[in-house]
């Protein structure tokens, strides 16, 4: 019978070997590269001891649940929660109930249990446990060139035809528009960003606390990706930011709009940031911009700026334990702020 307890320093090699067996060599190498930053340097884990639960059978590790602790704003209060990620059970021990015990142990130890981008098996397990399914995380795309609507699954002839037919629309939505507020590239999040977060909390029902410390760790310090960040400034006040990067995908180049924050009612401010990203995407020769956004206010402004809703690939589950929220909380997601920058989705 397996025993579940917290991660110890001496477990690192055995967990790495198990990760290799479950997820393969490439994923294990990438995980190793991120590990210190992701688990030991998270500012929401001041003890420095990774928030990982381990399933042991004698000296052997047969499973783990690794998480990313965050401070979560939930309807007017801050609770300690965590994103669940990298849950795994040794192949020969799967489908014997160990995963369920790991999920429940994590849940019993956190004020809020959050999951983004689930695998088929973990999605089914969340369903079996009857955790609130609040996904998928809405996905939006802004086409910039006629290659934007291509799909790897379509034959080339179909892709060419779609590109030709949609070209007039793409030319309209991708027009350059002028910027109307000051936008400035930054390499540091300072106290002005914490002040922005604190000003905006009354407008949000759920969001990870996006203060300067968290933003620095999440978007400036990661070893595996390099982001570009710009701030929206009015006089000396920080009124918003956006985080993005450009990637090459099989059918073209994509600018990922990874994370952002402004007042959702600040139409001029948010649209200015979107226009900045448009220009950057165009100068990076991107075919489209892709974003994930839960908040209905931001999505509305994105649609007015040429973004279209497309099918999302990211499932989302959230279970609030520390405060009583009631069932309706999970049905009204308009003011939840969740993006691709949350959890460790952008790897």
Ligand X SMILES: CC(C)(COP(=O)(O)OP(=O)(O)OC[C@H]1O[C@@H](n2cnc3c(N)ncnc32)[C@H](O)[C@@H]1OP(=O)(O)O)[C@@H](O)C(=O)NCCC(=O)NCCS
Task: Kindly state the smallest distance separating residue 137's Cβ from ligand X, in Å.
Answer: 14
Instruction: Give CA separation, 221 vs 49, 155, 189, 264, in Å.
Output: 19, 40, 11, 27
Choice from 6, 8, 25, 128 touching ligand X (CB under 6 A): 128
| Choices 82-90, 137-145, 230-238, 262-270; region in contact with ligand X by CB under 6 A | 82-90
CA pair distance 259, 73, nearest whole angstrom:
17
Choice from 109, 121, 216, 321 touching ligand X (CB under 6 A): 121
Q: Count Cβ neighbours within 10 Å for each residue of 102-113 and write b for 16 or more, e otherwise.
A: bbebbbebbbbb
Instruction: Give CA separation, 14 vs 7, 41, 95, 105, 108, in Å.
Output: 11, 21, 21, 21, 25
Closer to ligand X by Cβ: residue 83 or 214: 83
| Choices 86-94, 149-157, 277-285, 326-334; region in contact with ligand X by CB under 6 A | 86-94
Task: Kindly state the smallest distance separating residue 88's Cβ from ligand X, in Å.
Answer: 4
Q: How many C-beta atoms surround the C-beta of residue 152 within 10 A?
A: 9
Closer to ligand X by Cβ: residue 67 or 163: 67
Applying CB under 6 A, the site for ligand X has a residue count of: 19
Choice from 42, 44, 67, 122 touching ligand X (CB under 6 A): 122
Task: Kindly state the smallest distance separating residue 28's Cβ from ligand X, in Å.
Answer: 12
Choice from 4, 57, 94, 209 touching ligand X (CB under 6 A): 94
Closer to ligand X by Cβ: residue 60 or 96: 96
Alpha helices in the chain (DSSP H): 12-23, 25-35, 98-108, 120-128, 156-173, 191-200, 212-215, 267-283, 296-304
Closest listed residue to residue 22, CA positions, set 98, 82, 81: 98
Query: Which residue number is nearest to ligand X in terms of Cβ?
Result: 99
> Please, are residues 208 and 42 in contact by the beta-carbon 8 Å criterion?
no
- Which distant-in-sequence residues (6+ apart) come within 8 Å of 202 by Cβ? 76
Task: Kindly state the smallest distance separating residue 54's Cβ from ligand X, in Å.
Answer: 13
Task: Kindly state the smallest distance separating residue 155's Cβ from ligand X, in Å.
Answer: 31
Instruction: Give CA separation, 227 vs 140, 187, 217, 282, 341, in Å.
Output: 20, 10, 12, 17, 11
Closer to ligand X by Cβ: residue 81 or 264: 81
| Choices 117-125, 191-199, 230-238, 258-266; region in contact with ligand X by CB under 6 A | 117-125
Binding mask 21-50 for ligand X (x = CB under 6 A): -x----------------------------
DSSP notation for 294-305? --HHHHHHHHHT
Closer to ligand X by Cβ: residue 61 or 125: 125
Asked if 125 is part of the footprint of ligand X (rule: CB under 6 A), the reply reads yes
CA pair distance 71, 211, nearest whole angstrom:
10
Closer to ligand X by Cβ: residue 102 or 181: 102
Task: Kindly state the smallest distance separating residue 209's Cβ from ligand X, in Å.
Answer: 23
Torsional sign, CA 138, 143, 149, 151: negative
CA pair distance 130, 30, nearest whole angstrom:
32
Closer to ligand X by Cβ: residue 75 or 104: 104
Asked if 99 is part of the footprint of ligand X (rule: CB under 6 A), the reply reads yes
Q: Which residues bind ligand X (CB under 6 A)?
A: 22, 87-89, 94-100, 118-122, 124-125, 128
């Amino acid at each position: 019978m397996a025993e579940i307890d917290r991660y110890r320093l001496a477990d690192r090699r055995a967990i790495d070997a198990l990760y290799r067996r479950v997820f393969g060599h490439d994923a294990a190498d990438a995980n190793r590269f991120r590990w210190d930053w992701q688990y030991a340097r998270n500012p929401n884990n001041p003890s420095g001891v990774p928030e990982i639960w381990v399933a042991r059978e004698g000296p052997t590790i047969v499973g783990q649940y690794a998480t990313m602790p965050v401070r979560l704003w939930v309807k007017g209060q801050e609770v300690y929660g965590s994103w669940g990620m990298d849950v795994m059970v040794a192949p020969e021990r799967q489908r014997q109930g160990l995963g369920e015990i790991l999920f429940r142990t994590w849940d019993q130890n956190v004020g809020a249990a959050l999951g983004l981008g689930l695998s088929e098996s973990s999605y089914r397990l969340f369903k079996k446990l009857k955790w609130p399914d609040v996904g998928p995380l809405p996905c939006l795309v802004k086409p910039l060139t006629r290659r934007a609507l291509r799909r790897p699954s379509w034959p080339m002839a179909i892709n060419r035809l779609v590109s030709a037919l949609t070209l007039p629309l793409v030319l309209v939505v991708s027009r350059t528009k002028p910027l109307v507020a000051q936008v400035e590239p930054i390499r540091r999040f300072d106290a002005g960003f914490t002040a922005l977060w604190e000003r905006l909390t009354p407008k949000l029902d759920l969001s990870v606390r996006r203060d300067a410390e968290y933003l620095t760790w999440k978007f400036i310090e990661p070893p595996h990706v390099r982001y570009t960040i710009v701030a929206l400034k009015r006089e000396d006040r920080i009124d918003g930011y956006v985080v993005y990067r450009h990637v090459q995908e099989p059918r073209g180049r994509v600018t990922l709009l990874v994370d952002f924050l402004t007042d959702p009612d600040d139409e001029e401010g948010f649209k200015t940031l979107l226009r900045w990203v448009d220009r950057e995407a165009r100068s990076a020769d991107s075919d489209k911009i892709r974003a994930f956004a839960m908040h209905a206010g931001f999505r509305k402004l994105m649609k007015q700026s040429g973004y279209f809703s497309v099918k999302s690939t990211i499932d989302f589950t959230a279970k609030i334990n520390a405060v009583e929220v009631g069932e309706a909380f999970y049905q009204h997601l308009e003011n939840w702020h969740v993006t691709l920058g949350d959890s460790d989705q952008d790897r």
